[in-house]
A and B are shown apart, each in its own frame.
Chain A
Amino acid sequence: SQTIHQWPATLVQPVGSPLSLECTVEGTSNPNLYWYRQAAGRGLQLLFYSVGIGQISSEVPQNLSASRPQDRQFILSSKKLLLSDSGFYLCAWSTRGGETQYFGPGTRLLVL
């Protein structure tokens, strides 16, 4: 069966510091991968998606970037965090050509 992992679970970072959040998927190959942000009291906003290694599509202009160095690894990064980057970050995967996305447990990021 497939599983999706995210770490860390919680992160507190000062403004201006770098960020690296990791997401890995097990039990499948060639997945589509997604990063979402959930701000308090709001729905989910798609940040990035990837249909293959090195292929990243950005949905919104922002202070963040994403990379996919391996087939089942998706990384969310920032060089300098802003207060507005605080939120709950969710990674998701779907099969290539599949319609259903499955979500990881999320990372709560607090920027102070």
Chain B
Amino acid sequence: AQSVTQPDIHITVSEGASLELRCNYSYGATPYLFWYVQSPGQGLQLLLKYFSGDTLVQGIKGFEAEFKRSQSSFNLRKPSVHWSDAAEYFCAVGGGYGNKLVFGAGTILRVKS
């Protein structure tokens, strides 16, 4: 069965510091991988996605993620965090009939000034 693990429930970083959010997945075939961001009380916004090809993908708002098949990971990174990045981040894996997505439990990012 498909599953996604986000090991960190909360992360606090200083504004201007680098960020890495971890995501590990379990999927029986080549996965489609996604990172979404959610501000409080809002829907989810797509940050980036990986389907195939270059394992380092660029997204919106200066985020990037690297797919590592050997580690079953798809970690999200940003070189310099801004206060507006404070939100909850979800990793998801999908594919197959109906393109259903399985989400991780999310990581809440707090940015301190």
Count A-side interface residues using an 8 Å CB cutoff.
24
Instruction: Say what secondary structure dominates the interface of chain A.
Output: strand
Contact of B100 among A49, A90, A106 (CB under 8 A): A49
B49 partner, pick from A59, A90, A99, beta carbons under 8 A:
A99
With A43-B104, A100-B46 known as contacts, the answer to whether A32 contacts B41 (CB < 8 A) is no
Closest partner residue, chain B, to A96 (CB atom): B99
The interface bits of chain B over 15-45 (1 if a CB of A lies within 8 angstroms of the residue's CB, else 0) are: 0000000000000000010101000011111
Q: Which residues of chain A come closer than 8 Å to B45, judged between CB atoms?
A: 103
Cβ contacts under 8 Å, A106 to chain B: 41-43
Nearest 8 pairs of A and B residues by beta carbon: A103-B43, A103-B44, A43-B105, A43-B103, A44-B103, A105-B43, A99-B32, A106-B43
Interface size, B (range): 20 to 34
- Bound: A34/B101 CA distance, A: 10
- Residues in A whose Cβ lies below 8 Å from that of B36: 103
List, sorted by A's number, 15 A–B pairs whose CB atoms are closer than 8 Å: A32-B99, A34-B100, A42-B106, A43-B103, A43-B105, A43-B106, A46-B100, A46-B102, A49-B98, A49-B100, A98-B99, A99-B99, A103-B36, A105-B42, A106-B42
Cβ contacts under 8 Å, A92 to chain B: 44
CB of A5 to closest CB in B, whole Å: 11
